[in-house]
Structure 1
Amino acid sequence: MRHYRSEAAGSPLPDTFSLLSWNVHKEMGRPPFDKTLQSLLATGSPELILFQEAVLDARTADHFPGYNVSAAINIDLRHRQYGVLTAARCPIHDTVGLKTNRREMHIATRKSMLITTHPFEDGGELTAVNLHAINFVSAAVFVEEIERLRVVLQQRTGALIVTGDFNTWSRKRMEYLEHFAAAVGLLPAAYINGHHIKQRFSKPLDHLYYRDVTLLAAEAVDTGRVSDHNPILATFKR
């Protein structure tokens, strides 16, 4: 596992903070995406940004001025990589990148997830999990891979946010995700305009869960055809 990282100064997370989670479908660097991202950053002013299918190259940090940036790569090409990316206005104290043991059928790629920790002003920490779950495999393999994350998170205490593209397009996957959330003590976010969250077979693919923080608001934002998913903007209180 390799990590892309760009350091910037930052203050601890404030008591009230915002988060943007989005599967960006490898669209970073294209004018329609860049314009939409700047609009989202201006509107929501998120302290934390968690992207799936992010483009990781020499220009990546330019999208996030004033942010610390860390990423876990799952596709490594000669001049460009792709993976999950977490950007934070606050410091990133620690990063743990995990890549699935199994490969997706047909395309033979692995998926990645990134666990980061961020300080609060009172000395506590938030753990943020940026997940792109494995797809094109059996429900049993899906469960096997998310179980690895469950084991890690059950060893952590305190504030926790888990978000990303879970690829929960089947009943079995959704049932396991509910079990996973309960085991870790996570609550599911309730959304404004939740119908804008991408679905397959009438089941949502993107999720946001939280623990030991209060969710003030969460909204799925319709961005048209910029990506094949829509972003989630959420505001929390410590």
Structure 2
Amino acid sequence: ISEHDERMDQAAVAMDSLASDDGPVIVAGDFNTVTDYDVSQLRRLGRKHGYRHLRLPPGPTITNRYKRFPGSIPVLDHIFYRDLTAGSRGVMRAARASDHFPVWAVFATPPRPANGPANGD
């Protein structure tokens, strides 16, 4: 199995494990998408599982302090979500505590129908 296939299999397991959960879900982290092909495959996998991919501001999500990648620095960190409305988002490139910059996003839950049950009911 190739390294690419192994990464996609791991992402699929994460997304599958949450498939039966009702309500909003966020799946985020370092998916090690080194190439544009990796990113397109990961986005396709997310769509297949009912997730939307949140676009972060242009630029890298890693500091490149520990690894050198050929060409441009890849975006390794991604945020997928469902049943939420995405708001502001960003990459805190001034923070250097790790080899990854912190990524953040604000989400809102969709309004509940007036006659719908409250959460947990």
TM-score (norm 1): 0.38
> Partner residue of 2:55?
190
CA distance in 1 between counterparts of 2:107 and 2:95 reads 26
Hey, what does 2:17 align to over in structure 1?
Answer: 152
SS of equivalent to 1:162 = strand
Distance change in 2, residues 1:170/1:182 (3 Å):
same
Q: Which residue is 1:79 aligned to?
A: none
Q: Which structure 2 segments of 5+ residues have no match?
A: 110-121
Change (3 A) 1:157 1:139: same
Structure 1 counterpart of 2:34: 169
2:11 and 2:31 in contact (8 A); partners too: no
Deviation at 1:188, TM superposition (A): 1.7
Aligned length: 102
Between the aligned partners of 2:15 and 2:21, the Cα distance in structure 1 is 10
* Counterpart code for 1:160: V
Hey, what's the Cα distance between the residues in 2 that align with 1:184 and 1:174?
A: 15
What is the deviation of 1:224?
4.7
1:208 paired to 2:79: yes
Q: CA deviation at 1:147?
A: 2.5
Report the alpha carbon displacement of residue 237 of structure 1 after superposing the two structures with TM. Answer: 1.1
How far apart are 1:146 and its partner, in Å? Answer: 2.3
Query: 1 CA distance for matches of 2:21 and 2:95?
Result: 38
* Distance change (3 Å), C-alpha of 1:150 and 1:190: closer
**Structure 2 residue aligned with 1:235, among 95, 106, 114?**
106
Distance in 2 of aligned mates of 1:205 and 1:150:
17
Conservation of the 8 A alpha-carbon contact between 2:7 and 2:32: no
CA distance in 2, matches of 1:221, 1:196: 11
User: Following TM superposition, where does structure 1 have runs of at least 4 consecutive aligned residues deviating by more than 4 angstroms?
Assistant: none
Q: Does residue 92 of structure 2 align to residue 221 of structure 1?
A: yes
**RMSD (Å), alpha carbons:** 2.4
Q: Deviation at 1:196? A: 4.6
SS in 2 for 1:181: helix
Closer, same or farther: CA 159–139 of 1 in aligned 2, 3 Å: same
CA distance in 2 between counterparts of 1:209 and 1:189 reads: 6
Separation (CA, whole Å) in 2 of partners of 1:190 and 1:144: 22
Tell me the SS of whatever aligns to 2:25: strand
Cα gap change, 1:223 to 1:145, in 2 (>3 Å): same
